[in-house]
């Protein structure tokens, strides 16, 4: 890899050769991929990108840690839409807002970015089997991306994973192990099994290549904004890998001169499970918490990528905010009604946090903000229905329809 120098432990600084099956440092720290920005700068410019026709995350190959000969995996991941959201901006009282809808990825979440990278690296490693533990989205995205590439998957999920994600896994033909316990226990069992059977490891807090896939969401946001840097980017946080990846992408672009400043990150967690935000607020270390939120994808009591995530928020002079489940579900509806975007609870948690900070007057009215929606609401319809209510139910009768409208004052008197 001409563009990659090596991997480096974020804890002890130890250097590793960037082989395809890298895991954690011997000290237990997570590795970070170090690039040769001097070289990349000479090949990746605004102009070379503008001329490119690959509208997927693989359009940023020079910033991705793969061999030049490695083919992009089959599913078309990335280049999700970045929507201007003027009506939502007005509701929140800010000047400019964009919504990045990562729910339209092939398996309907941002995790496809990491899984596409996992498939590419597993192929480089000559692996035939990939395994991971996941609260659900990493699992279904791995199962889908691997199935398309003809690779086998072993997947560990906590028994609470919502049905939509389980249906995906089973359909993609993964071997699925539902662990009767927390995500933490699920993770530990997957780790032991991966060690025992030698499968390729797609746990994002162990395999340092995965956040390099996730960072493409940041690369895309900047290119889609015409390299005009927003003031803030709000995103939900669980394990910490996604916000760490986002930050890596932004720093990459800054390092090669494609952007001239960096936005501030807004790290949003659920009140019932916010170990990272608690650490940011206290300025100290993180400690485990219970997993007490309906936003299943970010119900992570023992965040596995705490180091990179905390570093990202702190380096960016970022903000941390926690939201209640009620605030999350209200944000889901608000996004749906003002933007036509239906995100899963964890997917809209970033928007919920942004809303809260706007209401608290923390975000200045002239700010330009991007809110990342990390997964589709179709992954978890039970919660959406519980919050939104059921439709009017009537027989085929105009009289009954007119009555129903009158009773509910539908359309606020518009009929």
Residues 18-57 that bind its own copies (CB under 8 A): 55
Q: Which stretch binds its own copies (CB under 8 A): 179-187, 203-211, 248-256, 303-311?
A: 179-187
Q: Which of 75, 118, 122, 233 binds its own copies (CB under 8 A)?
A: 75
Q: Which stretch binds its own copies (CB under 8 A): 5-13, 28-36, 354-362, 397-405?
A: 397-405
Cβ proximity to its own copies: between 193 and 255 the closer is 193
Task: Name residues contacting its own copies, limited to 201-240 (CB under 8 A).
Answer: none
Q: Is 74 in the site for its own copies (CB under 8 A)?
A: yes
- Cα–Cα distance measured from residue 206 to residue 191, given in angstroms and rounded to the nearest whole number: 9
Cβ proximity to its own copies: between 31 and 341 the closer is 341
Cβ proximity to its own copies: between 46 and 197 the closer is 197
Cβ proximity to its own copies: between 25 and 339 the closer is 339
Task: Name residues contacting its own copies, limited to 108-127 (CB under 8 A).
Answer: 108
Least gap, CB of 391 to its own copies (angstroms)? 4
Joined together, the tokens standing for residue 2 give 């001409």
Joined together, the tokens standing for residue 297 give 């994808």
Helix (H, G, I), strand (E, B) or coil at 280: helix
- Cα–Cα distance measured from residue 349 to residue 303, given in angstroms and rounded to the nearest whole number: 17
Q: Which of 42, 292, 326, 397 binds its own copies (CB under 8 A)?
A: 397
Helix (H, G, I), strand (E, B) or coil at 49: helix
Q: Which of 1, 177, 330, 362 binds its own copies (CB under 8 A)?
A: 177
Cβ proximity to its own copies: between 199 and 247 the closer is 199
- Kindly tell me the sign of the dihedral angle through the C-alpha atoms of 324, 330, 336, 339: negative
Q: Which of 15, 43, 378, 406 binds its own copies (CB under 8 A)?
A: 378
Least gap, CB of 148 to its own copies (angstroms)? 3
Buried b (16+ CB within 10 A) or exposed e, 106-128: bbbbbbbbbbbbbbbbbbbeebe
- Contact by Cβ (8 Å): 374, 350: yes
Cβ proximity to its own copies: between 17 and 408 the closer is 408
Least gap, CB of 370 to its own copies (angstroms)? 16
Long-range contact pairs involving 286-292 (C-beta distance under 8 Å, separation at least 24): 286/310, 288/184, 291/182, 291/183
Site string for its own copies, 246-285 (x = CB under 8 A): ----------------------------------------
Q: Which of 226, 283, 361, 389 binds its own copies (CB under 8 A)?
A: 389
Site string for its own copies, 145-164 (x = CB under 8 A): xxxxxx-x-x--x-x---xx
Q: Which of 196, 226, 360, 407 binds its own copies (CB under 8 A)?
A: 196
Q: How many residues bind its own copies (CB under 8 A)?
A: 86
Cβ proximity to its own copies: between 14 and 128 the closer is 128
Q: Which of 1, 49, 193, 262 binds its own copies (CB under 8 A)?
A: 193
Closest by CA to 77, choosing from 114, 49, 52, is: 114
Closest by CA to 85, choosing from 73, 70, 71, 95, is: 95
- Contact by Cβ (8 Å): 62, 68: no
- Contact by Cβ (8 Å): 238, 303: yes
Other beta carbons within 10 angstroms of residue 84's beta carbon come to 12
Site string for its own copies, 317-346 (x = CB under 8 A): ---------------xx--xxxxxxx----
With 0-12 / 13-18 / 19 or more C-beta atoms within 10 angstroms meaning exposed / middle / buried, residue 345 is buried
- Cα–Cα distance measured from residue 343 to residue 312, given in angstroms and rounded to the nearest whole number: 24
Other beta carbons within 10 angstroms of residue 197's beta carbon come to 10
- Cα–Cα distance measured from residue 320 to residue 280, given in angstroms and rounded to the nearest whole number: 7
- Cα–Cα distance measured from residue 374 to residue 103, given in angstroms and rounded to the nearest whole number: 6
């Amino acid at each position: 890899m001409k563009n990659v120098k090596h991997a480096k432990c974020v804890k002890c600084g130890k250097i590793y050769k960037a082989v395809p099956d890298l895991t954690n440092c011997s000290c237990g720290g997570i590795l970070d991929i170090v690039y040769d920005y001097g070289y990349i700068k000479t090949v990746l410019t605004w102009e070379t990108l503008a001329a490119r026709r690959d509208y997927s995350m693989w359009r940023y190959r020079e910033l991705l840690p793969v061999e030049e000969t490695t083919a992009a995996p089959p599913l078309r991941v990335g280049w999700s839409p970045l929507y201007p959201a003027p009506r939502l901006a007005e509701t929140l009282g800010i000047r400019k807002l964009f919504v990045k809808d990562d729910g339209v990825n092939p398996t309907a979440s941002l995790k496809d970015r990491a899984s596409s990278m996992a498939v590419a690296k597993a192929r480089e490693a000559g692996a035939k089997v990939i395994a991971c533990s996941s609260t659900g989205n990493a699992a279904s995205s791995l199962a889908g991306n691997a199935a398309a590439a003809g690779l086998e998957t072993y997947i560990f999920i906590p028994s609470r994973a919502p049905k939509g994600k389980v249906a995906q896994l089973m359909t993609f033909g993964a071997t699925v192990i539902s662990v009767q316990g927390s995500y933490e226990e699920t993770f530990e069992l997957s780790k032991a099994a991966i060690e025992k059977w030698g499968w390729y490891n797609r746990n994002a807090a162990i395999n340092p290549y995965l956040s390099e896939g996730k960072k493409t969401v940041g690369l895309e946001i900047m290119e889609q904004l015409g390299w005009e840097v927003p003031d803030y980017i709000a995103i939900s946080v669980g394990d910490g890998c996604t916000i760490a990846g986002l930050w890596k992408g932004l720093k990459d672009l800054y390092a090669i001169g494609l952007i001239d400043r960096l936005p501030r990150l807004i790290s949003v967690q659920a009140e019932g499970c916010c170990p990272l935000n608690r650490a940011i607020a206290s300025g100290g270390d993180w400690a485990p918490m219970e997993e007490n939120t309906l936003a299943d994808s970010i119900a992570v009591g023992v965040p596995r990528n705490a180091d990179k995530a905390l570093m990202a928020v702190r380096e960016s002079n970022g903000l941390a905010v926690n939201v209640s489940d009620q605030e999350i579900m209200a944000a889901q509806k608000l996004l749906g009604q003002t933007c036509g975007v239906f995100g899963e609870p964890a997917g809209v948690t970033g928007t919920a946090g942004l809303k809260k900070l706007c209401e608290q007057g923390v975000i200045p009215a002239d700010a330009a903000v991007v809110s990342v929606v990390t997964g589709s609401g179709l992954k978890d319809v039970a919660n959406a229905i519980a919050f939104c209510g059921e439709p009017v139910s009537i027989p085929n009768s105009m009289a009954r329809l007119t009555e129903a409208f009158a009773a509910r004052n539908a359309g606020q008197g518009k009929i």
